[in-house]
């Protein structure tokens, strides 16, 4: 759709157009006559310092109630905003985007994953999309290790026994889990988070194996002593712990399909802190229930917040409520990134975290 005749935004020096309605924004040879603060709609509650800064910088609509918006409300939001700040809980699909108003030029996602946004449709409508990579890497990797340890060593099961007042004393054969030291970790997706998981895993005595679209840079391979498996099938059959760390894209949907899960050894455990859609959740639940896979540690689910009821009944799974990046530090840094992306875009520059279709 042509954007001619629309307010041109970001504001780019001499190229600026004058708005004929509302607040006038115009620069002449760098001199500011009047600046309209951009209208930002934020779909969820963000950490307080982030909201405070947004209030100072922008004409911002915040969501004090923190209630996820309906598709209808998202449609209304894009029809009146210059910038939308959504999160993983908002589905910004072609239908929502069809209601985008003439001023919507940027979707600054609060989150690294952008599978909640139809980026191709947004771009085709002249809307830039940004995300927040890099600042949640270490925390998500920590949570991955926490799930590996908790699943292999039955941490939640043990804690539940104590909390229920059922600890009757030590026994040589009680609460035995599986050692992780000396085992093989198979990482699916060797991006920032995959590498951060590998670094931690090495310190825990695991050897690092990975499957990726292409081999990691030589320096990374050297540092992590990582073995590349071009064939995911072969890696699955030869590793003890599988960690999903790739984004959800059309190519990775059900990458761990029922067929591939069957390649795992029965003592293997599967951990996922990336996106639920990468695993066939129902097949995983059935196989763990039948003892064909030893256990699973999951932070994400195919149909969040719904979780396959079968999984909820199994003692050898650890289930977390999508909290991989839930540290005060990461969430403030993510907000800071959103602000930098918006500000840079407004200033007429390419925002640092622009998502381009070839990344997906």
The residues annotated with a catalytic role in the active site are: 275, 304, 322
Q: What is the DSSP letter of 323?
A: -
* Contact in structure between 198 and 187 (CB atoms under 8 Å): yes
Q: Which is nearer to ligand 8YV, 136 or 232 (CB)?
A: 136
Q: Which is nearer to ligand 8YV, 42 or 88 (CB)?
A: 88
C-alpha torsion sign, points 206, 208, 209, 211: positive
Q: Is the preceding omega at residue 55 within 30 degrees of 0, hence cis?
A: no
Q: Which is nearer to ligand 8YV, 46 or 242 (CB)?
A: 46
The footprint of ligand 8YV (CB under 6 A) covers 87-88, 110-113, 136, 324-325
**Closest distance to ligand 8YV from the beta carbon of 292 (Å):** 28
Q: Which residue has the tokens 């004393």?
A: 169
Token digits of residue 351: 């925002």
Cβ within 8 Å of residue 248, ≥6 positions away: 113, 115, 274, 275, 276, 277, 278
Determine the Cα angle at 170 with ends 167 and 172, to 5°.
135
Q: Which is nearer to ligand 8YV, 16 or 326 (CB)?
A: 326
Q: How many residues does the chain have?
A: 360
CA atoms of 243 and 147, how far apart (whole Å)? 10
Closest CA to 97 of 68, 58, 69, 126: 126
* Contact in structure between 11 and 27 (CB atoms under 8 Å): yes
H helix and E strand count, the chain: 13, 14
CA atoms of 26 and 14, how far apart (whole Å)? 9
Q: Which is nearer to ligand 8YV, 58 or 110 (CB)?
A: 110
**Closest distance to ligand 8YV from the beta carbon of 117 (Å):** 11
Q: What's the chain's Rg over C-alpha atoms?
A: 23
**Closest distance to ligand 8YV from the beta carbon of 330 (Å):** 8
CA atoms of 359 and 246, how far apart (whole Å)? 12
**Closest distance to ligand 8YV from the beta carbon of 204 (Å):** 22
């Amino acid at each position: 759709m042509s954007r001619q005749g629309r307010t041109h935004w970001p504001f780019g020096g001499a190229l600026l157009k004058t708005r004929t309605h509302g607040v006038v924004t115009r620069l002449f040879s760098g001199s500011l006559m009047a600046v309209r603060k951009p209208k930002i709609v934020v779909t969820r509650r963000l950490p307080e310092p982030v909201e405070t800064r947004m209030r100072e910088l922008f004409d911002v609509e915040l969501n004090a109630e923190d209630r996820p918006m309906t598709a209808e409300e998202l449609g209304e939001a894009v029809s009146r905003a210059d910038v939308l700040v959504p999160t993983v809980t908002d589905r910004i699909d072609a239908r929502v985007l069809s209601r985008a108003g003439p001023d919507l030029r940027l979707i600054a996602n609060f989150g690294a994953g952008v599978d909640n946004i139809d980026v191709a449709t947004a771009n085709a409508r002249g809307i830039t999309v940004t995300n927040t990579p890099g600042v949640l890497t270490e925390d998500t990797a920590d949570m991955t290790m926490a799930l590996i340890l908790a699943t292999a060593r039955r941490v939640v099961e043990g804690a539940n026994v104590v909390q229920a007042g059922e600890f009757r004393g030590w026994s040589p054969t009680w609460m035995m889990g599986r050692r992780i030291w000396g085992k093989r970790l198979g990482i699916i997706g060797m991006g920032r988070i995959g590498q951060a998981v590998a670094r931690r895993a090495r310190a825990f005595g695991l050897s690092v194996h990975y499957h990726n679209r292409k081999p990691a840079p030589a320096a990374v391979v050297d540092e992590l002593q990582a073995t590349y498996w071009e064939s995911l099938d072969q890696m699955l059959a030869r590793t003890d712990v599988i960690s999903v760390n790739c984004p959800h894209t059309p190519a990775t949907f059900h990458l761990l399909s029922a067929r591939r899960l069957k390649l795992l050894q029965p003592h293997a455990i599967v951990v996922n802190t990336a996106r639920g859609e990468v695993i066939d959740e129902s097949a995983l639940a059935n196989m763990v229930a039948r003892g064909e896979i030893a256990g699973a540690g999951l932070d994400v689910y195919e149909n969040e917040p719904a979780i396959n009821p079968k999984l909820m009944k199994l003692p050898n799974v650890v289930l977390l409520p999508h909290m991989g990046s839930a540290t005060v530090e990461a969430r403030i840094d993510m907000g800071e990134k959103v602000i930098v992306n918006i500000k840079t875009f407004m200033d007429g520059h390419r925002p640092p975290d622009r998502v381009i279709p070839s990344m997906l």
